[in-house]
């Protein structure tokens, strides 16, 4: 550290030619921020591992026990749900990461550096949402595909009523459900990012996210069933998960309608964050 006293004076004035702040540059900066934190890498890895792991384990267990299972268990077994159950576990990791992508900047004071560099502020929110959404989808899509094909590989050769229980990717609705699982994870992540930006606090953001995704559906179940049936399909988790269902059970939304409802929740959360971001002190 003693080298610091020998100040090479002229180096300060280098007249580097800075050009202006652009949305693309802000997005590149956000990509650097995302990839250079250990916690980000762990959360994304956890999301991938859960998506794949929670598909393979139940598929393996059911496949190996298939011949000993009761007829009603066999009838109740759903090969697609088994492949995508990991998505509903992974959503916690991805959603929490979404919250922390922005709340972490507030808790550490990094946000002051960020907004000193980009005082118009909104490009930061768009940059974060764009980069995080893209990174999540790029990791989630191979994860759901691997989860699906791995699970079906275990199930192949086991039959019910003379039909192989394994699904093919070209079966009706299957490709939509598998790709939709990745879209669902991405939208949950963006919903978390919106909540994190509104609440600007990690604990608050995670609580809100977990409350809305996991607690609210349970609370709804104590309401009179007519209320529950009317409200529940429109909750973010229930609506979004419609994309991963085959068929159209009662009191659920159609796949793309449901995913659209979740997308609307995420968009509204980010829009509220954007309005606040312009006005509030840092």
Among 67, 95, 112, 126, binds other proteins (CB under 8 A): 112
Stretch that binds other proteins, among 6-14, 57-65, 171-179, 225-233 (CB under 8 A): 6-14
Is residue 218 involved in binding other proteins (CB under 8 A)? no
* Of residues 113 and 257, the one with the C-beta less far from other proteins: 113
Q: How far is the CB of 123 from other proteins (least distance, A)?
A: 9
Q: Which of 45, 110, 219, 230 binds other proteins (CB under 8 A)?
A: 110
Residue ranges in 18-77 that form contacts with other proteins under rule CB under 8 A: 18-22, 25-26, 28-30, 32-33, 36-39
148 in Cβ contact with 204 (< 8 Å): no
Please report whether residue 119 would count as binding other proteins according to CB under 8 A.
yes
Which of 91/114 has CB closer to other proteins?
114
By CB under 8 A, the count of residues binding other proteins is 47
Choices 63-71, 112-120, 167-175, 214-222; region in contact with other proteins by CB under 8 A:
112-120
Among the residue ranges 51-59, 109-117, 129-137, 214-222, the one whose residues contact other proteins (CB under 8 A): 109-117
Query: Contact residues for other proteins (CB under 8 A)?
Result: 1-5, 7-9, 11-16, 18-22, 25-26, 28-30, 32-33, 36-39, 104-105, 108-113, 115-120, 279, 281-282
């Amino acid at each position: 550290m003693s080298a610091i006293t020998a100040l090479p004076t002229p180096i300060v004035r280098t007249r580097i030619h800075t050009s202006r702040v652009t949305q693309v540059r802000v997005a590149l900066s956000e990509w650097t921020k995302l990839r250079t934190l250990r916690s980000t890498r762990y959360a994304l890895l956890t999301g991938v591992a859960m998506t794949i792991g929670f598909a393979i384990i139940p598929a393996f267990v059911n496949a190996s026990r298939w011949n000993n299972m009761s007829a009603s268990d066999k009838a109740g077994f759903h090969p697609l749900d088994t492949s995508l159950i990991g998505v509903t576990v992974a959503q916690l990791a991805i959603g929490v990461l979404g919250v922390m992508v922005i709340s972490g900047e507030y808790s550490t004071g990094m946000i002051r550096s960020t907004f000193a560099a980009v005082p118009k502020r909104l490009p930061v929110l768009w940059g974060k949402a764009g980069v995080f959404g893209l990174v999540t989808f790029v990791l989630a899509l191979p994860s759901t595909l691997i989860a699906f094909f791995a699970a079906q590989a275990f199930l192949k050769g086991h039959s019910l009523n003379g039909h192989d229980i394994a699904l093919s990717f070209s079966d009706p609705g299957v490709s939509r459900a598998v790709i939709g699982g990745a879209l669902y994870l991405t939208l949950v992540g963006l919903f978390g990012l919106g909540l994190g930006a509104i609440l600007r606090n990690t604990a608050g953001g995670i609580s809100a996210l977990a409350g809305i995704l996991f607690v609210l559906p349970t609370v709804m179940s104590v309401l009179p069933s007519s209320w529950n049936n009317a409200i529940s399909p429109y909750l973010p988790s229930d609506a979004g998960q419609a994309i991963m269902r085959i068929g159209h059970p009662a009191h659920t939304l159609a796949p793309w309608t449901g995913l659209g409802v979740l997308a609307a929740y995420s968009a509204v959360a980010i829009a509220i964050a954007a309005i606040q971001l312009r006005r509030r002190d840092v």
